[in-house]
Amino acid sequence: MADTQKSIFVTGAGSGIGRATAKLFADRGWFVGLFDVNQQGLDETSAMLPEGQRISMTFDVRDRAGWARAVETFGQATNRRMNVLFNNAGVGRGGPIDEMPGDDIDLVLDVNLKGVINGVNAALPLLRETPGGRIVNTASVAGVFGAPNMAVYCATKFGVRGLTEALDVEFSKYGVRVVSLMPWFVDTAILDGLPAGSSEGGNRRIRDALTENKTAIYPVSMAAERAWDAAHGNEIHYMVGKEAERARFFARFFPGMMRNQIKKQFSSSDS
């Protein structure tokens, strides 16, 4: 890594928003650390980036020791600089909470929330050593309003939003900003892991319902552009898509109206 080059550590880099963001930052001259639990996905992402401008390593964000190894490897490649930690790895599981397998509940909590906390603690020393260090946590519009059949997933994203707001204040003493990326529905595999309703035997995914209702599904490239904004801007939450902005507005100013609309849609999908 060149002495003047900026660096970003990306989890969930093997696909989706992580891959698109890694490619965008590399295209704009950054050194990129690619990290994911999926070796094949990492290899595919690595092939899209110039040699000498990236490193890659597999590890599970649930594993604190794995985080320590990954951050140490990244620090060795960047002369102990980390301009941005992109805490992006996530999974989607859902359904009525009383029907969700315990293993699915644990997986969502451990990856989507605990994994983010693990990353914060592991990367903070490097971020503190880097002037203008920043953490970008991937939350979701699911962290703005609760949706049925997504209770555990929403809980993690509300948690990431709260964690972000708290740490942005807490880490101000270190000169480290903490912000979040809050996408609307983006074209990733998570849409295939969340059910659309409880009446279809678990076979109908949320992607199917969105397509049938002609609801916007944004490309990962849009999320990557907003991740770039999140790495450079002054806001704390960065919404992805007009619908995300609209959801934030209604959740703030007309929460009853939004809740009634969600109930109406949920009742229709289960009938």
- Walking along the chain (271 residues) 10 residues at a time, the average pLDDT comes out as 88 95 97 97 96 95 98 97 97 90 96 98 98 96 85 95 98 98 76 54 56 68 95 96 77 68 56 42
pLDDT for the residue numbered 123: 98
Cβ partners under 8 Å of residue 61, min gap 6: 11, 37, 67, 89, 111, 115, 116, 118, 119
**Closest-CA residue to 91 (of 6, 177, 156, 161):** 156
* Dist. CA 144–CA 250, nearest whole Å: 10
pLDDT for the residue numbered 199: 41
Helix (H, G, I), strand (E, B) or coil at 126: helix
* Dist. CA 27–CA 23, nearest whole Å: 6
pLDDT for the residue numbered 174: 98
Task: Please work out, in degrees rounded to the nearest 5, the angle formed at the alpha carbon of residue 220 by the alpha carbons of 147 and 169.
Answer: 65
Q: pTM of the prediction?
A: 0.87
CA 48 remoteness from chain centre:
21
pLDDT for the residue numbered 149: 84
Q: Which of 153, 174, 218, 238 is catalytic?
A: 153
In the block, tokens 């109406």 appear at: 264
pLDDT for the residue numbered 201: 43
Domain segments of the chain as ranges = 7-270
pLDDT for the residue numbered 189: 64
pLDDT for the residue numbered 198: 44
In the block, tokens 């920043």 appear at: 134
pLDDT for the residue numbered 208: 61
Q: Which CATH class is domain 7-270?
A: alpha beta
pLDDT for the residue numbered 195: 61
Cβ partners under 8 Å of residue 95, min gap 6: 104, 149, 195, 198, 202
Q: What are phi and psi of 270, to 5 degrees?
A: -95, -5
> Is 238 among the catalytic positions?
no
**Closest-CA residue to 151 (of 270, 266, 268):** 266
Q: For the stretch 75-107, what's the b/e string if a residue is b when 16 or more beta carbons lie within 10 angstroms of its beta carbon?
A: beebeebbbbbbbbbbbbbbbeeeebeeebeeb
Region for 132 from its dihedrals, namely left if φ exceeds 0, alpha if ψ lies in -120 to 50, beta otherwise: left
